[in-house]
Chains A and B, each alone.
Chain A
Amino acid sequence: MYQRGQEVRVAARQHEGHHRTPAYLKGKQGTVTRVHASFLNPETHAYGKDGLPEQALYLVSFAQSDVWPEYHGDAADRLYVDVFEHWLGEAG
């Protein structure tokens, strides 16, 4: 489990099939902003399986300028995305 305020990094791995981690976040570092709850894993639940074990879901925020190399907006702008636990690792 990760805590609010913790720095995390999204796994850079490829995944064949349905998953909810957008490509533009893979390998990016962010900050856990909220711990939602645990939910069925869509990567198996989308294929007729039970989706167990449930995975914790986090609201993670990223600096827009980290996600989009040519971002021209305010330097303080952040992007908020829900990411499942098994796609996260400790930053650093």
Chain B
Amino acid sequence: MHDRGGWPTDAPIDRSEHELADWEVLMDSLVGALGQEGVMNVDELRRGIEGMPPNEYETAAYYERWLYSVEAILTEKGVLAPGELDARLET
């Protein structure tokens, strides 16, 4: 999903604000820490988001896209094993 901006649409723009959930604040902190520690950078974060399947991209919230990308990039770098997060969530 690259270059999403500028596509034609008749849908109204959602300008509503919402309170951030705790996990969203943590997601932001995690990406900041990963950058400061030199583990992954914002350009990689963006590439990971662009690598999402279009239907997942369209339905994911802002920080859900960050989560998708962080998992994909850290798995690519070998920091996470494939499926490691899912396995941890099941225990």
B74 CB to nearest chain A CB (Å): 12
Our count of residue pairs bridging A and B at CB distance below 8 angstroms stands at 29
* Cα–Cα, bound, A46→B43 (Å): 4
C-beta contact mask, B48-82 vs A, less than 8 Å → 1, else 0?
Answer: 00100000000000000000000000000100000
Interface SS of chain B: loop
A interface size (C-beta, 8 A): 12
Q: Are B47 and A24 in contact (CB under 8 A)?
A: no
Contacts of A17 in B (CB 8 A): 47
Q: Are B43 and A18 in contact (CB under 8 A)?
A: yes
Contacts of B77 in A (CB 8 A): 48
Contacts of A27 in B (CB 8 A): none
* Cα–Cα, bound, A47→B51 (Å): 12
What is B's interface to A at a CB cutoff of 8 Å?
2-3, 5-6, 41, 43-44, 46-47, 50, 77
